[in-house]
């Protein structure tokens, strides 16, 4: 799927009313706690300072949004705002032309512009000149804006430049040591502010923060550096990647067969119907069978026939003696092939590690019976010579023939060969690996309390050095970020988020520069356990 098609598809996939992470979303305003003081500072400096004001931050840091908020928060009756873009018109003539158009005058020189601003001051109106993308200005245009900011005794405009940080060094060179400007540096969002920003963006498009997991939000914050423009791009990529993964998994089966989903569904219905018909046909065939017929090997037929014969008194043998089974009229069960059952005594089965119903190894020697072999013709014992006709014939006792018939079956009772004892080894005991968060200092802390996250580093030695250098209140734990270990340094233990936030002011300036932020021990313990 191309990038363009993915962009079009993800709006429908997530049912967005519009792209929540577009660069410009009408009506969207997000001001975290750290940006509100900056806005107030700009209003304060505009009222009491005579210096040109510069707001710096990297691309996508929210400078334009701050400029919009500054214009929206001014008193329209007391302030006349003129917005100038340096993109495509960064020379001095292009800048002055935009200023003159915003003021509604024809003259394009600095003197005429200052004269008109003085006239507006007599009516109680101030003039704000706000320049976007000021890093694109030529040096001559910057010099002209410095001149406008200095103004005259009668009046002067308040000039605001919104630019990337490299503009400051150019202003210092043009100021030549004089105090002609004041710079304010924007700071990135904390992870909590990133979460709030994402939630507001998604809410405006008709969805909620539930579309993103906690791990995804953390990855978005780290990858973007906490800058709004980066947050938009990374969050958009994360959602598109998740959408493509879901669609790939759903279409794996259909892709393998090369058929659309509705065709696959129709094939499945047909297969189910054929299976049901086959099953019903099989049941009908089984019902037509009266009884099972057992077919014995030909070699056993003479024995089976002899056993199934009903007992009868012996008569004069014709070609052989009659055979009779004493004490029963039922056939004697013979060890037929396939009917032998394993004889495994419970202690032996347990010792050999065999479950119920299994057979193998030495145990087979206990039950392996010879297949039914053809019974050798039995030579009947000669009957006693007939006595005188006056003496009635005595029936021949059936004992000897029975013994002769059962003679070949006698190996069943033969002693079994000695079974080699099976050595039983104790099963290894599984030892669960316990992560440091479960038994260490972090694992012992209440999940509802908070610590301050100071920094994260890929080097465990670096984290140890930082902790050893700064004192016992600093500790670190290991987490997995983007498939690699990340060692996170924290400070202290606090009963609430507010207490942790208040403790930031007591940290050294070098530590505060890293923008520490509160996080719960519950989240720390979860990340540490996942890193085991």
- CATH (domain of 149): 3.40.50.300
Q: Is 425 part of any domain?
A: no
- Predicted confidence band of residue 87 (pLDDT cuts 50, 70, 90): confident
Q: Is 421 part of any domain?
A: no
The top-scoring range by mean pLDDT among 120-129, 331-340, 390-399 is 120-129
Residue 366 backbone dihedrals phi, psi, to 5 degrees = -80, -25
In the Cβ-directed half-sphere of 175, how many Cα atoms lie within 13 Å? Answer: 18
Q: Is 483 part of any domain?
A: yes
Is the domain of 159 the same as that of 73? yes
Is the domain of 130 the same as that of 43? yes
Q: Of the ranges 67-81, 105-119, 332-346, 405-419, which one carries the lowest mean pLDDT score?
A: 332-346
- The CATH number given to whatever domain includes residue 455 is 3.30.70.1070
Q: Is 387 part of any domain?
A: no
Which tokens belong to 223?
Answer: 């990858």
SS3 302: helix
State how far the Cα of 436 lies from the Cα of 312, in Å rounded to an integer. 88
- Helices and strands per DSSP (H, E), number in the chain: 21, 9
Mean pLDDT computed over 491-497 = 94
Is the domain of 115 the same as that of 198? no
pLDDT above 50 (res 517): yes
- Predicted confidence band of residue 245 (pLDDT cuts 50, 70, 90): confident
- Listed as own residue / partner, the contacts of 411-418 with beta carbons closer than 8 Å and 24 or more positions apart are 411/370, 412/335, 412/369, 416/365, 416/366, 417/365
Asked which of 233, 248, 263 is the last residue of a domain, the reply is 248
State how far the Cα of 481 lies from the Cα of 105, in Å rounded to an integer. 58
State how far the Cα of 513 lies from the Cα of 335, in Å rounded to an integer. 90
Q: Is 487 part of any domain?
A: yes
Domain that holds residue 180: 35-185
Which tokens belong to 485?
Answer: 């270990």
Is the domain of 122 the same as that of 142? yes
State how far the Cα of 373 lies from the Cα of 409, in Å rounded to an integer. 10
What pLDDT, on the 0 to 100 scale, is given for residue 445? Answer: 93
Is the domain of 43 the same as that of 162? yes
pLDDT above 80 (res 451): yes
State how far the Cα of 66 lies from the Cα of 72, in Å rounded to an integer. 10
Mean pLDDT computed over 430-438 = 36
Percent of the chain with pLDDT over 90: 33
SS3 186: coil
What pLDDT, on the 0 to 100 scale, is given for residue 529? Answer: 84
DSSP type of residue 17: S
Is the domain of 109 the same as that of 216? no
What pLDDT, on the 0 to 100 scale, is given for residue 294? Answer: 42
Is the domain of 20 the same as that of 103? no
| CA-to-CA dists, residue 162 to 5, 70, 81, angstroms | 35, 12, 15
State how far the Cα of 480 lies from the Cα of 506, in Å rounded to an integer. 30
Is the domain of 63 the same as that of 196? no
Give the containing element (helix H, strand E) for 336.
Answer: none
What pLDDT, on the 0 to 100 scale, is given for residue 379? Answer: 47
The top-scoring range by mean pLDDT among 29-33, 441-445, 513-517 is 441-445
End-to-end CA distance of the chain: 37
Mean pLDDT computed over 224-249 = 88
Q: Is 18 part of any domain?
A: yes
In the Cβ-directed half-sphere of 428, how many Cα atoms lie within 13 Å? Answer: 3
Asked which of 150, 170, 185 is the last residue of a domain, the reply is 185
Mean pLDDT computed over 197-209 = 91
Task: Find, among 377, 406, 374, the residue nearest to 301 by Cα.
Answer: 374
Distance of CA 423 to the CA centre of its chain: 45
Burial class (CB in 10 A: 0-12, 13-18, 19+), 380: middle
Among left, alpha and beta (phi > 0; psi -120 to 50; other), residue 339 is: alpha
Is the domain of 43 the same as that of 169? yes
What pLDDT, on the 0 to 100 scale, is given for residue 259? Answer: 57
| CA-to-CA dists, residue 168 to 85, 95, 175, 290, 532, angstroms | 18, 19, 10, 102, 46
Percent of the chain with pLDDT over 70: 66
Is the domain of 203 the same as that of 125? no
Which tokens belong to 432?
Answer: 């669960």
- Predicted confidence band of residue 411 (pLDDT cuts 50, 70, 90): very low
pLDDT above 70 (res 316): no
Looking at the 3D structure of the chain, how many domains does it have?
Answer: 3
Q: Is 331 part of any domain?
A: no
187 neighbors 2 (Cβ within 8 angstroms): no
**Between 379 and 15, where is the model more confident?**
15
Which tokens belong to 151?
Answer: 């103004």
Q: At what angle do helices 228-250 and 3-13 cross, to 10 degrees?
A: 80
What pLDDT, on the 0 to 100 scale, is given for residue 418? Answer: 52
Is the domain of 39 the same as that of 181? yes
Q: Mean pLDDT across the chain, nearest whole number?
A: 74
Whether the model clears a pTM of 0.75, i.e. scores above it, the answer is: no
What pLDDT, on the 0 to 100 scale, is given for residue 213? Answer: 93
What pLDDT, on the 0 to 100 scale, is given for residue 330? Answer: 45
In the Cβ-directed half-sphere of 330, how many Cα atoms lie within 13 Å? Answer: 3
Q: What is the tens place of the pLDDT at every residue in 258-272?
A: 556 666 677 778 888
Asked which of 248, 264, 294 is the last residue of a domain, the reply is 248
Q: Is 493 part of any domain?
A: yes
Mean pLDDT computed over 474-483 = 88
Concatenated DSSP letters of 404-455: HHHGGGGGGGSPPPPPPPPP-PPPPPP-----HHHHSTTTTS-TT-EEEEEE
Is the domain of 466 the same as that of 518? yes
């Amino acid at each position: 799927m191309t990038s363009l098609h993915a962009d079009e598809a993800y709006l429908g996939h997530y049912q967005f009313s519009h792209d929540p992470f577009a660069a410009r979303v009408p009506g969207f305003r997000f001001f975290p706690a750290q940006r509100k003081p900056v806005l107030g500072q700009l209003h304060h400096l505009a009222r009491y300072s005579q210096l040109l004001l510069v707001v710096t931050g990297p691309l996508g840091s929210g400078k334009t949004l701050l400029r919009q908020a500054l214009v929206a928060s001014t008193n329209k009756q007391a302030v006349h705002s003129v917005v100038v873009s340096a993109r495509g018109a960064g020379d001095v003539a292009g800048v002055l032309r935009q200023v003159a158009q915003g003021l509604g005058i024809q003259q394009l020189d600095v003197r005429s512009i200052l004269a008109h601003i003085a006239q507006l001051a007599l009516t109680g109106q101030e003039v704000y000149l706000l320049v976007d993308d000021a890093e694109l200005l030529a040096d001559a245009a910057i010099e002209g804006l410095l001149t406008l900011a200095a103004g005259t005794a009668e009046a002067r405009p308040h000039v605001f430049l919104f630019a990337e940080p490299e503009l400051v060094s150019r202003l210092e060179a043009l100021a030549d040591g004089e105090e002609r400007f004041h710079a304010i540096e924007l700071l990135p969002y904390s992870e909590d502010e990133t979460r709030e920003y994402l939630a507001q963006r998604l809410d405006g498009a008709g969805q909620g923060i539930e579309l993103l997991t906690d791990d995804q939000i953390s990855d978005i914050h780290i990858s973007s550096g906490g800058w709004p423009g980066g947050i938009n791009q990374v969050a958009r990529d994360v959602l598109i990647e998740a959408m493509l993964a879901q669609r790939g998994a759903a279409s794996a089966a259909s892709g393998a067969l090369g058929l659309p989903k509705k065709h696959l569904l129709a094939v499945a219905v047909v297969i189910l119907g054929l299976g049901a018909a086959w099953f019903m046909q099989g049941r009908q065939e089984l019902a037509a069978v009266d009884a099972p017929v057992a077919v014995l090997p030909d070699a056993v037929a003479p024995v089976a026939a002899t056993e199934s014969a009903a007992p009868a008194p012996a008569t004069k043998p014709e070609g052989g003696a009659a055979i009779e089974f004493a004490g029963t009229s039922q056939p004697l069960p013979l060890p037929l092939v396939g009917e032998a059952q394993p004889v495994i005594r419970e202690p032996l089965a347990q010792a050999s590690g065999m479950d119920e119903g299994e057979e193998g190894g030495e145990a087979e020697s206990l039950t392996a019976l010879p297949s039914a072999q053809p019974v050798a013709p039995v030579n009947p014992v000669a009957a006693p010579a007939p006595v005188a006709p006056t003496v009635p014939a005595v029936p021949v006792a059936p004992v000897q023939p029975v013994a002769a018939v059962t003679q070949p079956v006698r190996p069943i009772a033969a002693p079994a060969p000695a079974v080699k004892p099976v050595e039983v080894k104790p099963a290894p005991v599984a030892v669960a690996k316990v992560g440091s968060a479960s038994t260490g200092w972090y694992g012992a802390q209440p999940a509802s309390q908070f610590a301050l996250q100071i920094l994260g580093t890929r080097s465990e030695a670096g984290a140890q050095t930082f902790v050893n250098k700064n004192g016992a209140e600093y500790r670190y734990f290991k987490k997995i970020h983007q498939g690699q270990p990340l060692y996170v340094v924290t400070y202290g233990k606090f009963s609430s988020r507010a207490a942790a936030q208040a403790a930031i002011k007591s940290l050294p300036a070098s530590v505060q520069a890293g923008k520490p932020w509160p996080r719960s021990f519950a989240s720390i313990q979860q990340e540490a356990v996942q890193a085991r």
